[in-house]
Structure 1
């Protein structure tokens, strides 16, 4: 390249405020100020979504909202319980990055949302579910091609593949489709080697997303108000979805997997990502965030770390729970409840609302709490097993609920994370009863008011109390 042309290129990059990441082969360029990427997170019931040209059906009252969350949790739990274990995968550490988020409520298979820009030369913007229990990033997508699924969407924005010259489908006859994507619901249909690689990504029951695997350009913002352009990012061009309304534009897969968008960014920025969830009932102007690398804000001073158990046979983030205490008393829960290798264990999940406890743990926890709430009038509601009239209720009278991890770390959630406001004047114990074969799931309401760091390189989960307010959020 001649010197004038080089100077022109450098000037264009500077003027456009874009830091380009060349991710093909071994060519990578990272700016010195790329300390983090921050995605803004927001709730399904947040007014933010009204400005996103998408209608997700705001519930008429708090009880309607709560029922909607429970319905989504119940649909999701079957899929989560069906996964089993495998071997741990190791990853290599590298630099850091971050992205902002806002608080929200569950829809379909997720609770919190992020803005996502994909395509070129003019990136198209979408609202995606941030889901730590799935790995495929996909959005509603229109691609008219032979052998592709029929286009079928009733709501949400749609990625127009024809408007992006960087869009490339993955051929079904290649190694990527035949070997690498087999575990990600790639279909065997391959009438010709160049036919797009099809998928039917199952979430639970008959609820799934169908489309073609493709590579595309993704644009994300950095802390220093620059942007990075990621090339050849694997995503799902979904042309047909059986996921129930209300539903956003798609899903950002944050699970532990070689095709996960989270692993792609984590590998570039310190091999870690984090998020912080404000109270799901807090005002919509309070921001959540999803960060890659070092966060834009300060970490909590009282951080604790526990082992993050990673397996290449599923996408979940498993934690090694040793027990639960209510008040100062350790509950009598059989150790096999937490034994991951024998079908038990617990995961931490951003897409499940209430905390789900396996049978023995659920029974012990409910017994411990109900005994302390007998003075309140019980209310029969189709929400959780125990609800009561909240007149005279004070959080200070409720015994502390603590999840103990095998290496000594302890999660002490806020009282409002397990005594839930279900309706006006009504509170409920925020635990879901189990079904046969259920694993335990630490849901996002139990996680609220805390900062969570998924350190993939060290196989550590860090957490600590936080207000979760992000300064100067950028999406």
Structure 2
């Protein structure tokens, strides 16, 4: 998007009617310049401030032109952390709401959304068939999680994660870690393509990390290049491949049809000279399944059927 577009227009929150300041404190209407301003923080500490605007975009495949509302960022440096320079922008893909949301599913009236995320660190990006579609999906629905509705956080995609295995070992944690409390988000699991690395509550992560290290075996843990990643291993000096266990996520029950198998780049991030576990702990009571674990997977979000389906390696 560019402000030089002939169809670009700032949202007028006085004479217009689509500034959602009455529904969400993220937005405020400035009565002096008529701008609908936004101020949004993200779970990983970044913050963006700016104003809302409209423009017309044309889809390449069907040549259909639609009016899209979006935020123009003017300040991206007020948060606890900064956005990665890998990003050129952010797209809101929250669940469809009939009113009060600018997410693309809400704007397009879409209960069905399919996504293919790029490979971030493996150098496969040039050959990836990345995509984002609404109303249709090209992916098979062989493995599915159930999408759960949380009335307090209606935009989030909560899923029914049931058990985690590292290799063939069950992660020994209480099932309550995976369930959100009624009317709140004290726990539970969300899927967020805007979060890079999967986050677990710190106490849960410590158990996950311990079991993972035990399954790796005798390879010594070393200090890695990023302080937020605390389970790293050096490349073998003789170039021999290192073995790291798979991570299996089961949704609803322990059943092959409900299992998402994570391996290789979806478990370990390879930096120069190091492999680091692509999971971390944080001081929150809910878990977020991030995009490193979902890269290269054909994702189908179906809020009408309340399912999130995974087509493994469909777009790798």
- TM category (shorter chain) comes to 0.7 to 0.9
- Aligned position for 1:22: none
Contact kept, 8 Å, 2:180 with 2:188, in 1: the verdict is yes
- Aligned position for 1:452: 299
Whether 1:229 aligns to 2:65 is yes
- Aligned position for 1:218: 57
Task: Classify 1:172/1:464 alpha carbon distance in 2 versus 1 (closer, same or farther; 3 Å).
Answer: same
What SS does the aligned partner of 1:361 have? helix
TM-score (norm 1): 0.56
Give 1:190 deviation, angstroms: 2.4
RMSD: 2.9
Q: Which of 362, 365, 375 is the aligned partner of 2:205?
A: 362
Q: Take 1:393 and 1:438, find their aligned partners in 2: how far apart are those partners?
A: 39
Once the two structures are superposed, what CA deviation does each residue of 1:290-349 show, in whole Å capped at 9, x if it has no partner?
222334x5x24x711221123454322111111211222322112221121161111112
Whether 1:434 aligns to 2:288 is no
Q: Take 1:206 and 1:279, find their aligned partners in 2: how far apart are those partners?
A: 23
Give 1:240 deviation, angstroms: 3.9
What SS does the aligned partner of 1:457 have? coil
Task: Classify 1:210/1:353 alpha carbon distance in 2 versus 1 (closer, same or farther; 3 Å).
Answer: closer
Task: Classify 1:283/1:438 alpha carbon distance in 2 versus 1 (closer, same or farther; 3 Å).
Answer: same
Whether 1:352 aligns to 2:195 is yes
Write out aligned runs for 1:44-443 (5 A). 126=1, 158-160=2-4, 163-165=5-7, 167=9, 169-172=11-14, 175-177=17-19, 182-183=23-24, 185-187=26-28, 189-191=30-32, 195-203=34-42, 207-222=46-61, 226-231=62-67, 233-242=68-77, 244=82, 246=85, 249-256=88-95, 257=97, 258-265=101-108, 267=109, 271-280=111-120, 281-287=122-128, 288-295=130-137, 297=138, 299-300=139-140, 303-311=142-150, 313-314=152-153, 315-341=155-181, 343-383=186-226, 384-391=229-236, 394=241, 397-407=243-253, 408=255, 409-424=258-273, 426-435=274-283, 437-443=284-290
Task: Classify 1:362/1:204 alpha carbon distance in 2 versus 1 (closer, same or farther; 3 Å).
Answer: closer
What SS does the aligned partner of 1:372 have? helix
Give 1:284 deviation, angstroms: 3.4
Contact kept, 8 Å, 2:144 with 2:251, in 1: the verdict is no
What SS does the aligned partner of 1:255 have? coil
Task: Classify 1:404/1:251 alpha carbon distance in 2 versus 1 (closer, same or farther; 3 Å).
Answer: same
Q: What is the aligned length?
A: 295
Contact kept, 8 Å, 1:278 with 1:286, in 2: the verdict is no
Give the number of the structure whose alpha-carbon radius of gyration is greater. Answer: 1
Once the two structures are superposed, what CA deviation does each residue of 1:440-463 show, in whole Å capped at 9, x if it has no partner?
111111112321110121111011
Q: Take 2:107 and 2:29, find their aligned partners in 1: how far apart are those partners?
A: 26
Task: Classify 1:354/1:249 alpha carbon distance in 2 versus 1 (closer, same or farther; 3 Å).
Answer: closer
Task: Classify 1:447/1:438 alpha carbon distance in 2 versus 1 (closer, same or farther; 3 Å).
Answer: same
Contact kept, 8 Å, 1:190 with 1:197, in 2: the verdict is no
Task: Classify 1:387/1:179 alpha carbon distance in 2 versus 1 (closer, same or farther; 3 Å).
Answer: closer
TM-score (norm 2): 0.80
Contact kept, 8 Å, 1:206 with 1:242, in 2: the verdict is no
Contact kept, 8 Å, 1:376 with 1:390, in 2: the verdict is no
